[in-house]
């Protein structure tokens, strides 16, 4: 997977289309990412003890990798790889910026 944790991405499909956020968690097996504060869904939480409070909470749902694009210099781009000084680095194909 070319995306990494803490990358800034823009959602390009779905209910939050056009919004920008940072990747919090990556699931490479299912090819999904969790973006902070985006793709929120309501989830019911069960009470575990007397002090604990149950109810409906807003949590971030995973979104497929194909529905997000990396952002560099306020432009979405695809990610490529190249070698600089004998080291493999990621770069944004549209802007040429090393990520």
Domains located in the chain, CATH noted = 8-73 (2.30.30.30)
Spacing of C-alpha 96 from chain mean position: 21
> What is the structure's pLDDT at 67?
93
Whole-model pTM: value is 0.80
8, HSE (Cβ side, Cα atoms, 13 Å): 11
Question: What confidence tier does 88 reach under pLDDT thresholds 50, 70, 90?
Answer: very high
Coil, strand, or helix at residue 31?
coil
Rounded to the nearest integer, the mean pLDDT of the chain is: 91
Could you tell me if 81 and 90 are in contact, meaning their C-beta atoms sit under 8 angstroms apart? yes
Residue 95 has pLDDT above 90, yes or no: no
- Give the pLDDT confidence of 22-61 residue by residue, as tens digits: 999 999 999 999 999 898 999 998 888 888 888 898 999 9
């Amino acid at each position: 997977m070319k995306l990494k944790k803490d990358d800034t991405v823009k959602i390009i499909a779905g209910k939050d289309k056009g919004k920008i956020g940072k990747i919090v968690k990556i699931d490479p097996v299912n090819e999904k990412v969790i973006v902070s504060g985006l793709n929120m869904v309501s989830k019911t939480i069960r009470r575990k003890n007397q002090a604990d409070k149950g109810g409906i909470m807003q949590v971030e749902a995973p979104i497929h990798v194909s529905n997000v694009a990396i952002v560099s210099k306020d432009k979405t781009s695809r990610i490529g790889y190249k070698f600089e000084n004998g080291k493999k680095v990621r770069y944004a194909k549209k802007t040429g910026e090393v990520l």
